[in-house]
Structure 1
Amino acid sequence: MTSSHPTSSTNNNNNKDEKERPRFFDTKSKSLCWSRAEIVPGRHPERWRKDAAGNIVCKRFCNCQGCLCFEYDHIVPFSKGGESVVENCQILQTRVNRFKSDKEKVDKNEMEGFSCDVKFTDKELDIIEMAVYGDVIRPGNQCRCRTVAEVLGQYKSKSKGNMDACKLP
């Protein structure tokens, strides 16, 4: 005697759809999504970007909770048929992404309203970059290798001249 379970055939179809329609962005899509995001003036573009709401985020702070943290977001939510492709990808500060959730059309002003209230100065971003990456670099040929004390303005080397730390013997 064979028994037919309608739920088992439905489950098989759902599993097939999940395999054909991945839930998460692949590495290439994430990389292209990051490169499409707005560049933060004066900051290294491989380390810092602005999300769709205008918040500064740090590449090393992906999928965490904090004001510089971000997630890769489906512009058209996955639950509403959005695909996990670069054209449907944007970076969003984690807090903003949680607010957006599965909403389809969220105005930039609305997203800004859910952004973290903390805004960082250039000096604070330098300190964070130093702590996270071990150095501070800027676009172009400018070397910005400095110690944490130099970043904080607590130490200025007079004996070493104006040479950057990376050019010292």
Structure 2
Amino acid sequence: MGSSSSPSGGGGGGNGSEKEGNSSRPRFFNKKEKSICWAKAETVPGRHPERWRKDAADNVVCKRLFNCLGCLCFEYDHIIPYSKGGESVAENCQILQSRVNRFKANKDEVDTTQLKGYSCDIKFTDKELDIIEMAVYGDVIRPGNQCRCRTVAEMLGKYKSKDSTAACKLPQSSESL
């Protein structure tokens, strides 16, 4: 199975030192393998590459949203399933939107069209991704838009930030995204 978080499926959240039975093969990708796996995934044009990537089915995922089930969440997947002899090494690793990874499970040779069929049916705009990035990271870093989240005290005029980064402009509740 790919790297799900269930006890029977073994999660991508392991530290790489856990073993299954008496086998000496690590069940999970270690920190170094995960880092390489993230780095080899396609970048999202116009977004910060350390924060955003595209998975093997062309879904946008956020690095902070690891091992959850939302549409921007992802897991580290064994391309050749661990249960079928696949090793926990960077060459056998891909990032997949969590729900896609759950579908793939321990299947191998699943084509991109099938993976896309199990993806969330939602495409986020740049403005929506900015809001999500600000909520997750507290700021937005991308070409043409680097800004930070203002505090309530700033909003009320009671505090002036020493941070020279511009405050993000959010749509008002009456505005549409």
Over 3 Å counting, the alpha-carbon distance change for 1:147 and 1:107 in structure 2 is same
For 1:108 and 1:151, locate their aligned partners in 2 and report how far apart those are by CA, in whole Å: 37
Quick check: 1:74–1:88 contact (8 Å CA) kept in 2?
A: yes
Distance (whole Å) between structure 1 residues aligned to residue 97 and residue 44 of structure 2: 14
- Alignment correspondent of 2:147: 145
Q: How far 1:129 moved relative to its partner?
A: 0.2
Is contact 1:37-1:49 (8 Å) kept?
yes
In the alignment, does 2:92 pair up with 1:88? yes
Equivalent residue, structure 2, for 1:134:
138
Q: Superposition RMSD on alpha carbons, in Å?
A: 1.7
Shift of 1:115: 0.2
Q: Tell whether the 8 Å contact from 1:123 to 1:152 is kept in structure 2 after alignment.
A: no
Letter in 1 for 2:147: C
Mapping 1:1-169, distance limit 5 Å: 15-17=21-23, 20-139=24-143, 144-147=146-149, 150-154=168-172
1:71 maps to a residue whose letter is E
SS at match of 1:67: coil
Contact 1:43 1:137 in 2 (8 A): yes
Q: CA deviation at 1:16?
A: 2.7
> What secondary structure does 1:110 align onto?
helix
Amino acid across the alignment from 1:33: C
Per-residue deviation, 1:23 = 0.4
Q: Which has the larger radius of gyration?
A: 1
Look up the match of 1:9.
none
Q: What is the alpha-carbon distance in structure 1 between the residues aligned to residue 25 and residue 88 of structure 2? A: 8
Amino-acid identity (%): 71
Alpha-carbon offset, residue 146 of structure 1: 4.3
With over 3 angstroms needed to count, the CA separation of the structure-2 counterparts of 1:143 and 1:150, relative to structure 1, is closer
> Cα distance 1:30–1:151, how it changes in 2: closer, same or farther (>3 A)?
same
Kept in 2, the 8 Å contact 1:70–1:92? The answer is: yes
Distance 2:127 2:115 in 1: 26
Choose between structure 1 and 2: higher helix proportion.
Answer: 1
Q: In structure 2, how many angstroms separate the alpha carbons of the residues matched to 1:64 and 1:89?
A: 18
Query: Structure 1: 5+ residue runs without aligned partners?
Result: 1-13, 155-169
Structure 2 length-normalised TM: 0.73
TM-score (norm 1): 0.76
Structure 1 moving runs of 4+ over 6 Å? none
Q: 1:43–1:76: structure 2 CA closer, same or farther, 3 Å change rule?
A: same
Instruction: Return the letter of the residue paired with 2:110.
Output: V
Distance in 2 separating the partners of 1:129 and 1:150? 11
2: CA distance, partners of 1:110 / 1:143: 35
Task: Check the 8 A contact 1:44/1:138 in 2, yes or no.
Answer: yes
Please say if residues 34 and 49 of structure 1, whose CA atoms lie closer than 8 Å, have aligned partners that are also in contact.
yes
